[in-house]
Structure 1
């Protein structure tokens, strides 16, 4: 049997194949972050036929000061739940599972969008997103952020999503804490890797307490910055083990400050050196993304044990029939 067509059960999350649509920002929400009819239509189209087993909905802000861009989705208040419920329904009625990605942009936010000075672990400019120097977060503000992730996760569950994902990649706030490039703190959140993931572990614990022991929890980890002095795969192997111990059910691997595309990396599934190494140190499933456009490439990456699930982003973004064509070609022995 095709590896891509094999089902996978992760706790209460039942996936009928190994194909994942990773989170990709659409900027289709209402100006206040509420779910729009445009966004409902978009996800309805992408999930048509249920060929994609898991759709991770684009990053959504947990606090107004963590908003990354205009018309980004919001999970920042209880009034968003009603619209989010429609979004979860649209995807799940088509036969795909829907997971919500929660994010705080940190220093990747801009004054123009949020109306205040962006915040970060330290007063260091963001190497990926540029902009002004952020304001260093106080202990009290860090606690507020943990509580905001917790409340956003509760809303996600209330809205009927099948799981929740914490965003720690692509140069956003949790990636900023993880990376030595932007985390220059001298308190318990800075320095050694265990300190740089302290905030992650506090958020995982808070989210877990809000959603209960059985609700699927994913974490997207920017497993390497691919920059001198940045986070490394060695850091990520330690982090991955700690996250799994803390109750993360699936690790979704991408780049750090490099973003999702790295000029030096080529080929389909170009983040596989990261997923392959992380798979060796954890027993939870790992998602691989990165330039995968051919079903046969996805098949081979799974067969070689490079990952457990395959994320196909741009190809599905450009062609809503990609998943259907890929699955049908594999069913027919293609």
Structure 2
């Protein structure tokens, strides 16, 4: 049982409290994905005072083919490192720790954005679109694994405290995880262990590149909330495998096709997922989902639903939410 004001030590990182700002796409980067003044100003404003202990920067694309949308942040080449270092410096100066989320959109990408054909684990249309992607070859999978590794190393060079691998919300890694979109007949498809093979290989390569002291997070879509999709029971097994592979924090979300979750009026609506995952792993678990009241956040921790609480939309709407909330609990 924890409280929101309680610090948490993870490896060589000390979080001053249990409040996290989860990744939320801003669409504020330059056209080529580089850091803009707008992004710097945005995160400067959100991190002022260091009331949010951990800020996870919005998803950034590891390659042009994996770009999800226009004006998305890039982590796809070394040219972005200097701009990102300015971002991590400002967040640190304000008193918060900073993580970058890295991603490949897979079949959720659009040719109008990437200029390239979409790819996926199988030639199956993404539920959000009618477009059928090209099925990835094993060599192409190896290239994507290398893309995640190279992106993670850039995150470290840019001065961040860690990196988060994105496997939620219907993007490429959740496409591999989900039986809805993964119908492969080779070692990357079939049972759960095969469907998370790409995840485990990415974790292994990233850890070799960034070293043991650099925090490694994974955002897991722990339930697709769709018939034939990923279930909580499968995610309990996957979570244990990810911990064994070296993940330091599990950031839990859900919903393959958007959120699609029941009880969205309940604060912390992913808590049925995090509560069960927390029982089977020893690493910290982040809970998000419609949390707008600081006392509700504190209560969820005290009820052992999670170890860290992510508050997104409330902080997006009000940059003083964390300051006012933390002060009200003291």
* Interval containing the TM-score (normalised by the shorter chain): over 0.9
- What displacement does 1:260 show? 3.9
For residues 149-188 of structure 1, the aligned pairs below 5 Å read 149-188=148-187
The alignment covers a number of residue pairs equal to 330
Measured at CA, do residues 258 and 307 of structure 1 come closer, stay the same or move farther in structure 2, by a change above 3 Å? farther
The equivalent of 1:41 in structure 2 is 41
For residues 204-219 of structure 1, the aligned pairs below 5 Å read 204-219=203-218
CA–CA distance in 2 between the matches of 1:304 and 1:12?
27
CA–CA distance in 2 between the matches of 1:46 and 1:86?
15
The equivalent of 2:83 in structure 1 is 83
- What displacement does 1:14 show? 1.1
- What displacement does 1:256 show? 3.5
Question: Does structure 1 retain, via aligned residues, the 8 Å contact 2:34–2:74?
Answer: yes
For residues 1-334 of structure 1, the aligned pairs below 5 Å read 3-127=3-127, 129-260=128-259, 262-331=261-330
1:183 partner SS: coil
Question: Does structure 2 retain, via aligned residues, the 8 Å contact 1:221–1:256?
Answer: no
1:186 partner SS: coil
Question: Does structure 2 retain, via aligned residues, the 8 Å contact 1:189–1:195?
Answer: yes
Measured at CA, do residues 321 and 2 of structure 1 come closer, stay the same or move farther in structure 2, by a change above 3 Å? farther
- What displacement does 1:258 show? 3.9
- What displacement does 1:5 show? 0.4
- What displacement does 1:2 show? 7.7
Deviations 1:74-100 (A, max 9, x none): 000000100010011111110000000
Deviations 1:157-214 (A, max 9, x none): 0000000000000000000000000000010000100000000000000100010011
- What displacement does 1:259 show? 2.9
Unaligned runs of 5+ in 2: none
Measured at CA, do residues 66 and 17 of structure 1 come closer, stay the same or move farther in structure 2, by a change above 3 Å? same
- What displacement does 1:13 show? 1.8
CA–CA distance in 1 between the matches of 2:17 and 2:278?
19
2:101 partner SS: strand
Question: Does structure 1 retain, via aligned residues, the 8 Å contact 2:255–2:261?
Answer: no
Deviations 1:35-64 (A, max 9, x none): 000000000000011000000000000000
CA–CA distance in 2 between the matches of 1:132 and 1:264?
31
TM-score of the two chains, using structure 2 as the length reference: 0.98
CA–CA distance in 1 between the matches of 2:295 and 2:257?
27
Question: Does structure 1 retain, via aligned residues, the 8 Å contact 2:264–2:290?
Answer: no
Question: Does structure 2 retain, via aligned residues, the 8 Å contact 1:110–1:131?
Answer: no
1:280 partner SS: helix
Question: Does structure 1 retain, via aligned residues, the 8 Å contact 2:124–2:133?
Answer: yes
CA–CA distance in 1 between the matches of 2:112 and 2:12?
41
